[in-house]
Amino acid sequence: MTRIVGHVRALNRFPVKSMAGEQLTVAELDWQGIEGDRQYAFVRAANGTRFPWLTGREVPAMVLHRARFEDPNRPKTSAVTVETPDGASLSLHDPMLKTHLEAAAREPAALIQVARGCYDSMPVSIQTSAGHATLEAAHGGALDIGRFRINVIVESDLLATEWQGRRLAFGNDEDGAVVQCADPIARCVMVTIDPETGAKEPRVMRTVAQEFGNMYGIYAGPARPGLIRIGDAVRLVD
């Protein structure tokens, strides 16, 4: 038995971890997550911990670099172009880009490619319009949902946390994807960075921490590979 709980409003893919990404009309969900999502990452070359990523924590301006696949349908083999904040268009592998990021971070960095994605935890992030509106109400003003780097935004009157432990099916049964919703997403200082300006607003972190237990959105994992399309009905699978 299923029931419709919303419709897909937006789909986002981030070719390079911590950089701005691409808005999609169709996302292909495979067993590792959305094809091409977080496929590349810069790492702190001298960091030997389990969290070696070079991100907006170290270089807030990373979120102002917009990465896109030249062949969006073949992300594993496609070239990646990065538009920098000053308007330049560079190959992701251009040494100038790495040198620029190293200078901003004040430490050596390296670029890696991981086909299954460089995720902090689980591969798919979901939020609802109601969930974001609840945050804005608590915060006392509008917040660009882009600062939370969500993959699937669902137009729904329900909170995403209501789907914890449940399955969501997208679109039709022929080729639609199914995900297993897991835990709410614990947030870090990345949410304080404005995705349009790179400026930090610490009060966002305080709102998320104090009003929502530091959680925003929900993680999910693939339960059945398939497609997710803008406008797809989202069904709760019992």
Q: What is the CATH number of the domain that holds 31?
A: 2.40.33.20
- Tokens read off for 213: 């237990």
Q: Can you give the pTM of this predicted structure?
A: 0.96
pLDDT in tens, the chain (238 residues): 689 999 999 999 999 999 999 999 999 999 999 999 999 999 999 998 888 999 999 999 999 999 999 999 999 999 999 999 999 999 999 999 999 999 999 999 999 999 889 999 999 999 999 999 999 999 999 999 999 999 999 999 999 999 999 999 999 999 999 999 999 999 999 999 999 999 999 999 999 999 999 999 999 999 999 999 999 999 999 7
- Tokens read off for 1: 């038995």
34 exposed, middle or buried (CB, 10 Å; 0-12, 13-18, 19+)?
Answer: buried
CA 124 distance to own-chain centroid: 8
Largest CA distance in the chain: 55
Which residues lie closer than 8 Å to 65 by C-beta, 6 or more apart? 16, 19, 20, 82, 83, 84, 85
Query: Can you list the positions of beta strands (E) in 147-199?
Result: 152-155, 167-170, 178-186
- Tokens read off for 230: 């803008």
Provide the b/e sequence for 36-72 (b: ≥16 CB within 10 Å).
bbbbbbbbbeeeeeeebbbbbbbbbebbbbbbbbeee
- Tokens read off for 221: 């994992």
Domain count, the chain: 1
Show the domain range for 12. Answer: 2-237
